[in-house]
Structures are given as structure tokens and as C-alpha cells.
Amino acid sequence: MIGIVNYGMGNLRSVQKALERVGTQAQIIDKPEQIETAERLILPGVGAFADGMMHLRDCGMVEPLMQYAKSGQPLMGICLGMQLLFDSSAEDAPSIVESVKGLGILPGQVVRFQEDQGPDKPRLKVPHMGWNQIDFATDVPLFEGLSAGDHVYFVHGYYCVPEDHKDIAATTDYGQPYCSAVHRGNVWATQFHPEKSQHVGLRILENFAKAELVQA
């Protein structure tokens, strides 16, 4: 059974329906104690980083999520859910030198796209919204059956900068190449929305549900 964490900031039913389409049982998890019972776990999310962390704390989900990440069971973040896995974010930060703390499961920061790309370059539209390509940085089972250049659906104004480049599983070009998916051990995450990415996204969710994903 795949658990989908409900902390009030995710397209829960969309993710659940997408998993059901690939023949996987999925349960929406509302209580912290349910997290440890999931065979695999998805942390979705839509909205602002600080709000996401506040809701996770209010729901009592922070410690169970951190323990689950340490358990070796597959954990996948989606969009805001990917960003929350990192150490901190500049979104809604009190100052330029004080960031908002995340779960700290993955080392790195979340930063904002810059509209001004420099002289003679078109101004970047933020948020990054719509279809864009992914290119694979490593050969990982989450992307089995996909091809470099496949299109997926994005909606975000901030992106993750992993401290260790080895954690980058895929990149996307928007003004410049940036990390659009990560992998470290049993932890996986995508900045894009698989549940909105048609057959490509369904294949990713199917791989998460059925592939052997626990790796060193």
C-alpha cells in the first residue's frame, strides 16, 4: 500500500487516482501514526514552503516523516513535497540571511527563479508553469521506460539546489539548467507533477509503486 500524506496542501485525490490508474492501491494518510504502516510513501504539495512546514508541524507529521526517511522504505516528494525535503528555503524567509527551515532529509536549499537573466536575454516568467523537458542526470529506476527530452508538467517559482550534485536525478532548462528531480538512497522527488504529466507521469508513478527503489 502507498500512503499519500495529507497535511492540507496537496492534490491528494489527483495523486491517488493516478496511482489507481496504474493498478496500485493508495491510501490518504491523515494521522501521524499511519505513516509508519505505509509500504511506500508520497509527500505531495502545492503552495508556499513556510505554510507547508507549518501545516506539517501542526499535523504532527514532521518527526514521523523524518523517521520514515531513515527506515529505508521508499519515500517520494512531489512539487512542494520535494522542496520540503531540503534543509531550507528562501521563500517567505524573514531576511536574505535567514531562511525557512525544512525537514532536512536532503542537504541543500530552495531558491527563487530570477526574472532578469542578464543582458540580451528575455525576461523569465515566474512562476515556471506548463510543459517542459526533463533530462536524466543518472540512470535511476524511477525513470525506467522514459526517454531524455520527455515532457512533464511544472508549476513552481522556486527550485531546489542540492548540496551534493550526486543527488540530482534529472534536470530541466528554464533560463538555465536546474534540478527537477532528486534521488538519495530510498528518497526520491520530482519538482514536476507526475499526476498531471499524462503517460510519462503515470509511468513514473508506476515505477515508484512497483520498481525496486531501495538503493545505497
Question: Active-site residue numbers?
Answer: 79, 193, 195
Nearest to 81 by CA among 169, 177, 188: 188
- From first CA to last CA, the distance across the chain in angstroms is 23
Question: Distance between CA atoms of 39 and 176, rounded to whole angstroms?
Answer: 37
Question: Distance between CA atoms of 43 and 29, rounded to whole angstroms?
Answer: 10
Helix axes 198-210, 12-21, angle to 10 degrees: 80
Question: Distance between CA atoms of 110 and 91, rounded to whole angstroms?
Answer: 8
Question: Distance between CA atoms of 55 and 39, rounded to whole angstroms?
Answer: 23
User: What three-state secondary structure class fits 94?
Assistant: coil
In DSSP terms, 28 is beta-bridged to: 4
Q: Which residues contact 104 (CB under 8 A, 6 or more apart)?
A: 66, 86, 87
CA 58, distance to chain mean position in Å, is: 21
